[in-house]
Amino acid sequence: MNRPTDDQLLAFLDGTLDREERERLLDRIENDPALARELRLAAMGYAGAEPMRTATADRPTLPRMTPRLVSRWWIPAAVAATLLLAIPTTLRLSSVSSSPEPWTPEGAMAAIMPASLPTKPEGGFVLVLQGRWPDASTVGADEQQRRAREYWAWAANLSNRSVLMAAGDLVWDPGERLGPTGTPIAVSVEIVESPDFIVGMFALRVTTVEDALAIARECPHLRYGGSVSVRQVGQGFLTTHLAGS
Kindly state whether residue 32 participates in binding another protein, applying the rule CB under 8 A: no
Nearest of 204, 195, 205 to residue 227 by alpha carbon: 195
CB closer to another protein out of 156 and 192:
156
- Does residue number 43 form part of the binding site for another protein (CB under 8 A)? yes
Least gap, CB of 134 to another protein (angstroms): 22
SS3 at position 227: strand
CB of 139 vs another protein, minimal distance in Å: 17
Task: State whether residue 28 is helix, strand or coil.
Answer: helix
Is 39 among the residues that bind another protein (CB under 8 A)?
yes
Please, which residue, 52 or 115, has the CB nearer to another protein? 52
| Smallest separation, CB 24 to another protein (Å) | 12
Which region, judged by CB under 8 A, interacts with another protein, from 23-31, 67-75, 197-205, 231-239?
Answer: 23-31
Choice between 15 and 140, CB closer to another protein: 15
**Cα–Cα distance for residue pair 30/178, rounded to 1 Å:** 70
Residue 56 binds to another protein (criterion: CB under 8 A): yes
Residue 9 near another protein by CB under 8 A: yes
Rounded to whole angstroms, the Cα distance separating 33 from 213 reads 51
Alpha-carbon span 102 to 1, nearest angstrom: 80
Binding residues for another protein restricted to 139-178, rule: CB under 8 A = 149-150, 152-154, 156-157, 160
Q: Prior bond to 63 cis, omega within 30?
A: yes
Instruction: Work out whether 188 is an interface residue with another protein (CB under 8 A).
Output: no
Residue in 184, 171, 175 with CA at minimum distance from that of residue 67: 171
- Among the residue ranges 44-52, 71-79, 195-203, 234-242, the one whose residues contact another protein (CB under 8 A): 44-52
30 lines the binding site for another protein (CB under 8 A)? yes
Task: Count the residues of the shown chain that bind another protein, applying the rule CB under 8 A.
Answer: 43
Q: Is residue 214 part of the contact set for another protein (CB under 8 A)?
A: no
139 neighbors 133 (Cβ within 8 angstroms): yes
Helices (DSSP H) in the chain: which residue ranges?
Answer: 6-14, 19-30, 33-49, 51-55, 75-86, 105-112, 141-160, 189-193, 209-217, 220-223, 238-244
DSSP code at position 98? G
1 binds another protein (CB under 8 A): no
Alpha-carbon distance of 221 to 234, in angstroms, equals 25
**Site of interaction with another protein (CB under 8 A):** 5-7, 9-10, 12-13, 15, 17, 19, 22, 26, 29-30, 36-53, 55-56, 60, 149-150, 152-154, 156-157, 160
